[in-house]
Structure 1
Amino acid sequence: MHLTSRTLKTIAWSTLAFTTANAQYIIDNLSFGQKEGEPISPNLRAIPHYFAKGLGWDIEILSDRAVLTPPWPGNRRGALWSEDPLHHGGDWSAELQFRASGMERGGGNLQLWYTKESQKNTDPASLYTAPKFDGLVLVVDQYEGRGGSVRGFLNAGDIDFKAHHDLDQLAFGQCNYPYRNLGRFSVLKMQQANGKFEVTVDGYYFGISASSAENPDSFEVSKFLVSTTNAYTREEPGSQNQYQAAQNPNQQQQQDQNQQQKVQPPPRVHGNWLQRTHEQNKPIDPNIPQIVEDVFAANIKSQQDQFADLHNRLQIMNHKIDGLYDLLEKVIADNDQRFDQLMGRVTPMHDQIGATMRNVEKVERTTMETLRDLESKDFKDLLRSVQLSIERGHGALSNNLPAAITDIVDKGRPSMMIFIFVVIVVQVMVLGAYQLYKKRRNSAPKKYL
């Protein structure tokens, strides 16, 4: 069979169209763990676009997984809730990778939520402690001792699961799955495609929660991916407008064109400098838009609108680049001016440093001369003479000191005659005092009884 170039082109375009129609685009702000080899958290404290909360403990966020319940102790809860809802109502799928590990008879449950209202501001709930909610929950636990099961529950916001008398009977479907202590991560998926899986999807939130029993199971999640067949990778808060676009594409296209035609003030960099530069050097036509808001590619139908959108965006990029170039020139001029000022200050400092260096060199020369003098001269004779002088002085003191002390003692001591005279005088005075005492006693009046 002979294939012409026209046939090959037709097959190639058909294959490309089929591939594009069936491609899955991961929504980044609703997913984590989508990039292999990169950590799910940049700081190991939080997962971007997800709110983490634990009851009885703090959720442990590692580089490749998040631990919702710890291996020990039991009776703990943890939950992750998306900060942004899933807005669009097209085909989508959600994939959760999890694993549970614990003791031989451990217990607990894992829930994958898809609800209208986020539960990030409440305590983490399990199937049996959840209040009224509008949405879907998939539960992984050991229901009826089967070794593991996956069950689905729907609630329209009118049933209080926490107060229900027989909650297990509300499951709309279930299957057996032994999930505990497998070592590897299990994959749980749910999706909506071609009208199947009838659940309202007007801005619903995703959540993952787990709870452990007295004999704990440690539930870990490593990846959660939300993907869609639409060619955009983020869910913005105002994206629900696309439902109106699906119902009335012409009206939505007209609104997008009106938004593109709005004149916005130019951006400001370093105050009003960039704006003044544009106003002075490059006058801007007020009919040319300065900011084009983001729109979905599917909302631009005609080639003329596509060209206008592309033209406006390229023109805005050109203006931005011009502004950055002007800003760069100003930064370079400022740096040159600062360099000149710095060099003007450095020159006097250089003169002072030169004078200081000369003084240091003088000190070094003097020190070296002194060191050379000390090393060249012999001080042995000088020290010997000092030693001999000390020895002579010591000998003279040893010889003359005893004779001098003896002479001083001999000259200063009293004579023997003076000593005898003093003794006789003292005795005469004592005898006279005694005689005087006897005379007075004998002359004193007598007392008789």
Structure 2
Amino acid sequence: MRFPQQSSVLALGLGLVTTVTAQAQFLVSEISFGYTGRINDRGEANVPGFTIQGNPNVPEILSNKIILTPPHPGNTRGAVWADEPNPYREWVADVDFRVNGGERGSGNLNIWLTRRGGQDIGSSSIYTVGRFDGLALVVDQHNGAAGMIRGFLNDGTVDFKSHHSVDSLAFGHCYHVYRNLGRPSQIKLRQTGNDFKVLIDDRLCFESDQITIPPGYQFGITAASADNPDSFEVFKLVVMTRDLGAKVIEGSSSQQQQQQQQNNGQNQAQAQTSYGRTPNQVRNNNAQSDDAFDDSVPDASADSITSSKAQFADLHNRLQSVNHHLSTIFRQGAGMNNMAEKRHEETSRMINDLRQSLSKIEKLDKLEWITSEMTKMQREIQNIKTDLNNRISQSENNLKRSISSNHGTMLEHVATQTTPRHGKLIFVIIGSQIVLVAGYIFYERKKTLPKKYL
């Protein structure tokens, strides 16, 4: 789909025509939105060709933007995923976004190009996603910076959620201040046959000639906010390519695949007819299976070839048979490759399911062990409680017996010890009176004795 001339000014204003290449680019409308300045021209609250996800609420869709995470409350997630994969090897993707929030707001925006992204990734961020196959471009305030754009790659073998240092897996980065600018920022991803580039506001962020994202991967944008939320708004996701007819079968729709298979069958029929086979023979061979080795030229004795014409016909038939066999081998090889890839994906999914099951079993074992230990602790605490109650009761009984046995003798002792004794008191009183009387008599006698004078 080429841009109409009357909307060229709008297309330039929206940035649909890339400035990094002089060749014309064509819009891939099936996996794009916002290229006319509106999310949905019909005014409906959905995005044609895309699936919206969110937690705890679905993102709000306005006429010209998608609010993946609202300014309030925090800890929300939002995602928008293309329903169809990207069928092109060379492409340019433009994403216009804007971030508003408080002074210390935080969160991240993730631009994905992955296999089975909507099913495997959902609304996860680079820090909460498990295993994925593809590219992730992250916009956040990593390491206290005002803004940073980083690229991550994974072939499905690395579990980012359980990795000890996700930040160390980035293969490229650049700094860019993106919060509270009052205008959208534009991220441009460009894949060619020679290199892969990421540009921010028409300046190079990073590039690499070692990265090639194959066709058949889905575009998606996810955002996550923290306790102090940021509002992530996406205005457009526009995918363009140089040649709309250069689709790869893996990324095409079912109708396009059938049409391409029919074209391939017609081309093969024409090629076989040009080698001297009739259309009826071609039709019969196409009705057979890929294992078409039944039309081999039978062996013939060299003596039966008596003329150059017969020799040429025999050689022609044998070369034609070899050509058919090679074509069959190539088709079977391609089918085996596709089958091997499917089996590899199935095996990977089975291994992942097995790992999840094993992890659940380990968790259940740990829970059973914790439960048994808790039961043991309860029994021990109950035994300790019972023993303590018995000892307290025994001590109380011993104390009562000791007090009851010693209380009677103590009363007798107190009674005997505290009983008053009047004998001593009488003896003291009488003795003092006798002493006083004796002293008085002695005084009187001494007073009446005659005085002696010298």
Using the size of structure 2 for normalisation, the TM-score is: 0.48
Using the size of structure 1 for normalisation, the TM-score is: 0.48
